[in-house]
Each structure stands twice: as C-alpha cells, then as structure tokens.
A and B are shown apart, each in its own frame.
Chain A
Amino acid sequence: MERKENIIELKNIKKCYDKDVPVIDGFNLEVQKGEFVTFLGPSGCGKTTILRMIGGFEFPTSGRILLSGKDISSLPPNKRPINTVFQKYALFPYLNIYDNIAFGLKIKKLPAKEIRRKVRRVLDIVDLEGFENRKVTTLSGGQQQRVAIARAIVNEPEILLLDEPLGALDYKMRKEMQLELKQMHEELGITFIYVTHDQEEALTMSDKIVVIAHGRIQHAGTPEEIYQKPKNPFVADFIGESNIFNGFMTGERKVTFCDAEFDCVDEYPVGTKVDAVIRPENVILTDVSKGKIRGKVISSVFKGNYYEVTVQSDNYEIVVQSSVPLKREEETGIVFTPSVIHIMPYDMTKNHYSGTFDEEFMIHLADGVLVPDLSRLYPNSVLEDNVLYSKEGRQIKVDGTRIEISFESKDAGLSDDPEEGLVQGKIVSIIYKGDHYSYTVRSENDLDYYVNDEWLWNIGDYVSVVVPEEKIQYRLNGGFV
C-alpha cells in the first residue's frame, strides 16, 4: 500500500486516573489517512480510554495527540473534526430520527435545505430511507446503531471513532453490520478507528490492528501479520486459537520443543529461549509411524465445519483442526511443516514473579524468601515491635498480601555460593551476547530466571541468582514502586 500522510499521531501518551497508577503508558501510534484501524484487547486494557482521548472526552496526563500535525491534546470534543459512534448509541430520545441525524448540522447552522439533503443522503447510506419521523424508541437495536452511524458520518468528520458499536447486536446482525461498515469505509474514505474485544471482528474489518494489553501496544500490524507472526505469546493467544510451546533454538533454523527437533524458517542464535506458535488449522495428523510426535486423542469436538481434536503427547497437549472425527484413545502422529512454526524469542531482559507477604514482612516466592525494603513499598512508614505504621500512624497489615516483583536480567548476577543468592538452580541455556553471556537458570520448581553475567559458566552448573534488593521493582495493587 502506498504511504499516505498521517492523520493522527499519538506521541508518548500516558494517562493516570489515580495519581500514580498509569492505565495507559508509553503509547505511540500513527494512523494514516483513510485507514481502518482497530484497537483490539481484553476489557480493561485501556483501548476505550485511548479512543476517548482521541475524541476529546479524556485528556492525556502527558504526551501529545497530533491531528494532521497540529496538537489537539487539550481541545474539547466540539472543537475536533472527529465524530464518535457510541457503544450504547446515545441517541437523543426526545428527537425523531431526522432531528437526531440533523443535530450536528443544525449546530453548525447550515441552511435547512442543505441539512435536508445531507440527512437524506446518509439515511440512504445506512438503508433507513423513510424513517425520518420515527421515534428512536420504536427502532430495533440494529436500526438504532445505523442511526448512530448516520448521525456521526453526516458531519463528514476526518476521523470516525467507533466504540464497540456492534457489541449489543446478535451474531447474525453483527456479521452483516461488519461487512456494511467495511463497505461504508471504502465508499466514504474517512479514517475509521474502531474499538473491539472481538478478534474475529478485528481480523475481518481492519487494515491495521493494534493489540493492546495493560495500557500498552503489544503488536501493531496488518491482520495477516498479527495472525501469522504474532510478536509475543499474548498476541498469539488472544488472536485465534493457538498452540504455544516453550522451546530453545538448537541449530541453524532448528528449534526444539515437545521433546523433538523441528526445522523452521525463523533464524535466532542457538540457545535462545523461544515460544513456538502453531495454529490448530496448520497441524497435520498422520500415521503413527510417520509422525514426528505421537500422541493419544483425548477429545474430539464437532465445531460445524471441522472437528477440534486435542492430542496428548507426554506432557503436551496439541489442539488440531481436523476434517474427520477421531476416536478417543486413538493413537496418531503429528507433523509440523517448517513454514507453520512461528518462533517468538522470549523476552529474556526482564524477570517477573509473584509472591505473598507473611506477618514478618518477608515476601515468599516460589523458590525463596525475599526481605524487602519496606520504606520503598510504603513510603514514610515506621516498623515498631513488628507492627508497621503508616505516615499517619495507622497500622498497615500486609500478611497474605499478594505482590509482584520484577528485575532486569542485567541487574542480576550468578554465584556459586548457594547462600548468597535469592534462588538456586541449574543453568539450562547460554547465549553469547558479545560482551556478556545471557543465562537461563531453571530452579527446582521449574521457574526460569534470566541473568546476564560476564563470566562463563557451563550448562548444568548449579548456581545461585544474586539480585541486589534495590534493583528489585515491587508492584502492589497494580502500581509500580
């Protein structure tokens, strides 16, 4: 597709409702003129907040929103050439259909004749000719949705925002409206920004999908890219069914997972820890003797145009789409061709774990105990006789509180003194990174720790992972400390 000018640019947007807890952080996005962009993510991921900031109903705590190069971050909604189709339609109940659609035009004080012409035109576009004098309440959900769309596009906005507009419609109606919206987008040439949590809807309609989770962009790309080459396991899991396996690169374009080595097309250094993604429709079932992996069928469910078959091979479950039903307990072979294995390098620069506070103010992790600096977690608190008091003198009870900890691999180190470190484990992988080695240490509880160390250790060495307390980040109630 030819490169067009950016109609909207989001620059380093951050939004906090509570003083320090960001719901959106470091959000950068460019939308080109005429694109159909979809914000996709689970509920609560911040996608609607972004949309509302573009519409002017919320203002970013920091960062800028540029419309055709001009900063509109602090403009109110009525000063922006942007219109919204609201999730609950938000039609004016005391006005008839004609007056609802004409609302924006009347505010702009257009001549009555022109208003009538424009309203007629959009009514024609949304297939509601002759509904001018009907009351909003006499319309079905689908018809109300069309009126809401008509009311927005009649103003000829530069950008149309759609906030889960089809959420309230039944399945069939939704399918129809998806195609109609797509067609409308092509005919009108307006930039559409669409919010949904329905991945199928996003794949059907969009030129570009922005997958959002925890207030950050996980992956932005065309539907094909997002589906075939997801950037991380979250995206792979959220977009469609997928089999995701932990593995390591074990040779040039060779990857090992499910206790077998496969050829693949992605190239990463030997030893890199990876996630391998295979879509169920790409898994080939074959004779037991021809399969690279063998397993037993544990379930086979009819899904309309295919059977969803789950195969158990040792500790791994593989979901397969099969055109024929398989019997339970049936032995089968499985083949992955190189092109269907998508490799995602694991983010080995950060470590995330969760733990629980005990009454002695220590954090119990799966593999050990951590003594936190309480003054960082609870600023200005005082510990007296084993009771923690807040700045205001109230008692803070932490026993049983869940807490997330994280640290960067570059801040950790290895030691052969088991007493020195936070946890102990065996080195399972080494990658040479030029000036240091990147190690994966696996603990007895099968948790992996990623550590950068400049000294060379060997695979199988029993080491302890040392992390200075001040480098550990804590996360309580969703906020970082």
Chain B
Amino acid sequence: MKYRAFTRKQLGIPYALFLLLFVVLPLSVVLYYAFTDAMGQFTMQNFLNFFTNAKTVGTLLYSILIAVATTLACLVLAYPTAYILAKGVFSHGAALMMVAVTPMWINFTLRVTALKEILSVIEGNLAYYPFLNTVIGMTYDFLPFMILPLYTSILKMDSGLLEAAADLGAARGEIFWKVMLPLSMPGIVSGVTMVFLPAMTNYVVLDMMYNSTYIMGSLIGSYFNFYDWNNGSMISSILLAMIALLSWLSGKFGESGSREGGASL
C-alpha cells in the first residue's frame, strides 16, 4: 500500500477549521455586537455604559474581590497539601494525590449541592453569609487546580538548594520564604491563573449559594436574558480583554520562573 505522508500544514487544517468555526467566528460576532447599537450602527456607547454605570463597575469590583479571596484561600490550603504530597511525608503519596484530585470526577453541581447541605447544617441559614459561602464553594471547587501545579513544582524542587540555604545559616522559616517560595513561583503562577479567572465569572456557585449579588458572569447572563446583546457583548469583551491581559502578565512571570529551574503546568 502506498504510504502518503501529510505535511505539517495539512495536518493543521482540521484544527484551523475548528478554531475558525468555534473561536474566531463567535468572537467576531461578539465584537461586532459590542461595537454596534440595536440598529446595527457603529457606536462606543456600550463601552461608556459599562464604566459610567455604578452598578456594573460595582459588579466588576465584587467579582475581583471574590476571585482574590478564593485564590488566596486556595493557595493557603493547597501549598501545604501539595508539599505533604510531593515530599512523601506519608508513605502513599500517589494514592493521596488521587484523593485530592478525585472530587474533580464528580459532577460540579452535585459537589456544590453536597457542600451546601453541610454548610446549612453548620450555619443554620445560608443567607446569613453569602460572600463567605461563595468563597467556600469556589475554593472547594477550584482547589485541585491549585494543588496540581504546586505539586509538580514542589516535586521538581532540588532539595540540594534547601540544604544549601540551611548550610548558609537559614532557619526553617527563612528557607521557606527565601528558597522554597521563589522556587515554587512557577507553580503558584499557573495555579493562580487557573483559579483566579474562573472565579471571576463562575456565577453558578453564587446562584446555588443563594448569593444574589451579581458577578461578571451573572451580569453578562442578565443582559442576554433581556435580549440586550450589544451591552452583554461589550461586557464580555471587556472581561476577555482583562483576562487576556492577566494571562499575558502571568505568562511572562511564569515563563521567566520556569526557565530558572522551577516548574509550570
């Protein structure tokens, strides 16, 4: 049988088609609606609407607040967990890693529902602490995304460097701040990226936790529900631009870190 070799270009065609159909085209439509009014005329009014409306700006700030709180909570919980897993403090590190990651296999709404029940037993009524409950829900949901990259970067950490720091007079605390933390920076960066961005938009958790405050995701949803596609698209585009900026920044940070011997996912 005659063997026919595909060139790299030919192999890329399906992927390019996919990108065109499901990424470029929808984005172009979103951008088109963002910069037009209901009559289809070009306008910057949607853009101005977002930044002149106290409610929408407030939603942006609230989203950022939730995302920051969630990311911090994840980081604080995930770092020691990843350390224990990677350094094999317990004899079955791999099995423990599974335990940390398996919740991801269960449907996300199911997980949050279960958490909700537990929280209502503890708090009595979920409506008392909407912000706290949202952060707890998101932290629970996103924790594995923080553990995994941290685990990888701590696993790859050269223990010789920790010994060198101790040799040069560093006590345990100093070793952590001056050596371990910088070495695990690439893992922290990718973990933060993977938690912060979804936390800004994931309004399902809010809904389920009876948090009636809007975040960016719910805001966009509400505009589309009222057939205001133009303003909805503009908010989506603004969020997109912010996410792009953030990824670019963290990508730059993470890249310089990983080249210096750390790890990234």
Which A positions have Cβ atoms within 8 angstroms of B?
55-57, 76-78, 82-84, 86, 88, 90-94, 103-104, 107-108, 135-137, 151-152, 155
Alpha-carbon distance between A56 and B168 when the two chains are bound, in angstroms: 12
Is the C-beta of B228 less than 8 angstroms from some C-beta in chain A? no
Alpha-carbon distance between A82 and B261 when the two chains are bound, in angstroms: 27
Question: A157: shortest Cβ distance to chain B, in Å?
Answer: 9
In this complex, what residue of A is CB-closest to B158?
Answer: A90
7 tightest Cβ-Cβ pairs between the two chains A and B:
A104-B168, A90-B164, A93-B261, A93-B260, A90-B160, A77-B166, A107-B169
Given A107-B168, A137-B260, A151-B168, also A94-B183 (CB < 8 A): yes
> Is the beta-carbon distance between A103 and B168 smaller than 8 angstroms?
yes
> Is the beta-carbon distance between A94 and B163 smaller than 8 angstroms?
no
CB-CB under 8 A from A151, the residues of chain B are 168
CB-CB under 8 A from A86, the residues of chain B are 160, 163-164, 167
Interface-centre pick from A83, A88, A94, A137 (highest chain B CB count, 10 A): A94
Is the C-beta of B182 less than 8 angstroms from some C-beta in chain A? yes
Is the C-beta of B97 less than 8 angstroms from some C-beta in chain A? no
Could you list 12 A-B pairs, sorted by A, with CB under 8 Å?
Answer: A57-B163, A77-B166, A77-B167, A86-B164, A86-B167, A88-B158, A92-B161, A93-B183, A103-B165, A107-B178, A135-B260, A136-B260
Given A92-B161, A92-B179, A94-B183, also A78-B260 (CB < 8 A): no
User: B166 is contacted by which of A76, A91, A152 (Cβ under 8 Å)?
Assistant: A76
Question: A106: shortest Cβ distance to chain B, in Å?
Answer: 8
Question: A477: shortest Cβ distance to chain B, in Å?
Answer: 22
Given A90-B158, A108-B169, also A77-B163 (CB < 8 A): yes
Interface-centre pick from A55, A92, A152 (highest chain B CB count, 10 A): A92
CB-CB under 8 A from A83, the residues of chain B are 167-168
CB-CB under 8 A from A76, the residues of chain B are 166
Is the C-beta of B73 less than 8 angstroms from some C-beta in chain A? no
> Is the beta-carbon distance between B163 and A155 smaller than 8 angstroms?
no
Given A94-B185, A94-B257, also A104-B169 (CB < 8 A): yes
In this complex, what residue of A is CB-closest to B161?
Answer: A90
Question: A59: shortest Cβ distance to chain B, in Å?
Answer: 13
In this complex, what residue of B is CB-closest to A154?
Answer: B168
CB-CB under 8 A from B171, the residues of chain A are 78
Q: Besides the contacts A77-B166, A107-B174, A151-B168, what 13 more A-B pairs have beta carbons closer than 8 Å?
A: A57-B166, A78-B168, A82-B167, A84-B163, A90-B160, A90-B164, A94-B182, A107-B178, A137-B259, A137-B260, A152-B167, A155-B168, A155-B169
> Is the beta-carbon distance between B169 and A78 smaller than 8 angstroms?
yes
Is the C-beta of B170 less than 8 angstroms from some C-beta in chain A? yes
Question: B218: shortest Cβ distance to chain A, in Å?
Answer: 40
CB-CB under 8 A from B182, the residues of chain A are 92, 94
Alpha-carbon distance between A88 and B161 when the two chains are bound, in angstroms: 10
Interface mask (B231-265 → A, CB under 8 Å = 1, otherwise 0): 00000000000000000000000000101111000
Interface mask (B112-142 → A, CB under 8 Å = 1, otherwise 0): 0000000000000000000000000000000
User: A94 is contacted by which of B168, B169, B170, B260 (Cβ under 8 Å)?
Assistant: B260
- Mostly, the B contact residues are helix
In this complex, what residue of A is CB-closest to B170?
Answer: A107
Alpha-carbon distance between A166 and B262 when the two chains are bound, in angstroms: 25
Question: B201: shortest Cβ distance to chain A, in Å?
Answer: 32
Question: A80: shortest Cβ distance to chain B, in Å?
Answer: 9
Interface mask (B144-172 → A, CB under 8 Å = 1, otherwise 0): 00000000000000101101111111110
In this complex, what residue of B is CB-closest to A161?
Answer: B167
Alpha-carbon distance between A57 and B260 when the two chains are bound, in angstroms: 25
Question: A64: shortest Cβ distance to chain B, in Å?
Answer: 21
Alpha-carbon distance between A91 and B261 when the two chains are bound, in angstroms: 11
Question: B175: shortest Cβ distance to chain A, in Å?
Answer: 9
Interface-centre pick from B169, B182, B183 (highest chain A CB count, 10 A): B169
CB-CB under 8 A from B164, the residues of chain A are 84, 86, 90-92
Alpha-carbon distance between A57 and B161 when the two chains are bound, in angstroms: 12
> Is the beta-carbon distance between A88 and B168 smaller than 8 angstroms?
no
Question: A87: shortest Cβ distance to chain B, in Å?
Answer: 8
In this complex, what residue of B is CB-closest to A107?
Answer: B169
CB-CB under 8 A from B179, the residues of chain A are 92
Alpha-carbon distance between A92 and B259 when the two chains are bound, in angstroms: 13
Alpha-carbon distance between A76 and B174 when the two chains are bound, in angstroms: 14
In this complex, what residue of A is CB-closest to B181?
Answer: A94
In this complex, what residue of B is CB-closest to A77?
Answer: B166
CB-CB under 8 A from B166, the residues of chain A are 56-57, 76-78
Question: A32: shortest Cβ distance to chain B, in Å?
Answer: 23
In this complex, what residue of A is CB-closest to B185?
Answer: A94
Question: A318: shortest Cβ distance to chain B, in Å?
Answer: 46
CB-CB under 8 A from A55, the residues of chain B are 167
Alpha-carbon distance between A76 and B160 when the two chains are bound, in angstroms: 15
> Is the beta-carbon distance between B163 and A90 smaller than 8 angstroms?
yes
Alpha-carbon distance between A88 and B158 when the two chains are bound, in angstroms: 10
Alpha-carbon distance between A94 and B166 when the two chains are bound, in angstroms: 17
Question: A420: shortest Cβ distance to chain B, in Å?
Answer: 52
CB-CB under 8 A from B163, the residues of chain A are 57, 77, 84, 86, 90
Interface-centre pick from B158, B168, B171, B178 (highest chain A CB count, 10 A): B168
CB-CB under 8 A from B178, the residues of chain A are 103, 107
CB-CB under 8 A from B169, the residues of chain A are 78, 104, 107-108, 155
Alpha-carbon distance between A91 and B262 when the two chains are bound, in angstroms: 13
CB-CB under 8 A from B262, the residues of chain A are 93-94
CB-CB under 8 A from A108, the residues of chain B are 169
Given A90-B158, A92-B179, A94-B182, also A84-B167 (CB < 8 A): yes
Question: A327: shortest Cβ distance to chain B, in Å?
Answer: 54
CB-CB under 8 A from A56, the residues of chain B are 166-167
CB-CB under 8 A from B165, the residues of chain A are 92, 103
Alpha-carbon distance between A108 and B168 when the two chains are bound, in angstroms: 9
Alpha-carbon distance between A82 and B158 when the two chains are bound, in angstroms: 21
CB-CB under 8 A from A135, the residues of chain B are 260
Alpha-carbon distance between A55 and B165 when the two chains are bound, in angstroms: 12
CB-CB under 8 A from B174, the residues of chain A are 107
CB-CB under 8 A from A155, the residues of chain B are 168-169
Question: B105: shortest Cβ distance to chain A, in Å?
Answer: 36
Question: A414: shortest Cβ distance to chain B, in Å?
Answer: 54
CB-CB under 8 A from A94, the residues of chain B are 182-183, 185, 257, 260-262
Question: B182: shortest Cβ distance to chain A, in Å?
Answer: 5
